[in-house]
Chain A
């Protein structure tokens, strides 16, 4: 069975500072890893994904994530946070046995001016 953990319910960061939102996963086989963002009263929007290739993945809005196989992590990062980055972020994982994605509990990112 596949699972994903987002250990922080909320992350607070000042505008202009770097941000990290943590994600760890468990799958049997090769992982498919995703980050999605949700703004209030909206559906989830794709940010980036890792399937194969470079461990550092670049995505939308200046976000990036680093795949670390030994630590089974896929942390989301951004060098300089914006107030408009404030939202709910979800990490998701799938394995190579099917098309399903399992989502984490979400992390609320609050960027203060």
Chain B
């Protein structure tokens, strides 16, 4: 999607290893979000950021940390990956009041083996 890119698109990692996913935006948005998508659960908020170095937890934050040292980048780290963290991870930017609400990236499919 224009203005927001996620990397990598796919990743397979082993249980117990650290993993970092990157979200990069060119829209200069203050708010950025990390969601995970799982069948039957829809999208659940992991962490969000409302500015550089300003982050907060979402409903499923255990096992995840985030960092935002620049407006354009929001990193999601799995400290020690577990099989339960196998999921599709989406980054989003924007405000609810924006004409299109949030804008989503294309997602990262993470498999923990």
Name A's B-contacting residues (CB within 8 A): 6, 9, 32, 34, 36, 41-46, 49, 51, 90, 92, 94, 99-106
In the assembled complex, the Cα of A92 lies from the Cα of B35 at a distance in Å of: 13
Name B's A-contacting residues (CB within 8 A): 1, 31, 35, 40-45, 48, 50, 58, 90, 92, 95-97, 100-107
Out of B42, B45, B90, name the residue touching A105 (CB < 8 Å): B42
Q: By the criterion CB–CB under 8 Å, are A103 and B42 in contact?
A: yes
Q: Is the interface of B mostly helix, strand, loop or mixed?
A: loop
In the assembled complex, the Cα of A105 lies from the Cα of B38 at a distance in Å of: 9
Q: By the criterion CB–CB under 8 Å, are B43 and A90 in contact?
A: yes
Q: By the criterion CB–CB under 8 Å, are B41 and A105 in contact?
A: yes
Q: How far is the CB of B107 from chain A (nearest CB, A)?
A: 6
Out of A34, A49, A104, name the residue touching B42 (CB < 8 Å): A104
| Known interface pairs A43-B104, A90-B42, A100-B45; 17 further A-B residue pairs with C-beta atoms within 8 A, sorted by A's residue number | A9-B40, A43-B90, A43-B105, A43-B107, A44-B90, A44-B104, A45-B104, A46-B102, A49-B96, A90-B43, A92-B101, A99-B31, A99-B96, A103-B35, A103-B43, A105-B42, A106-B42
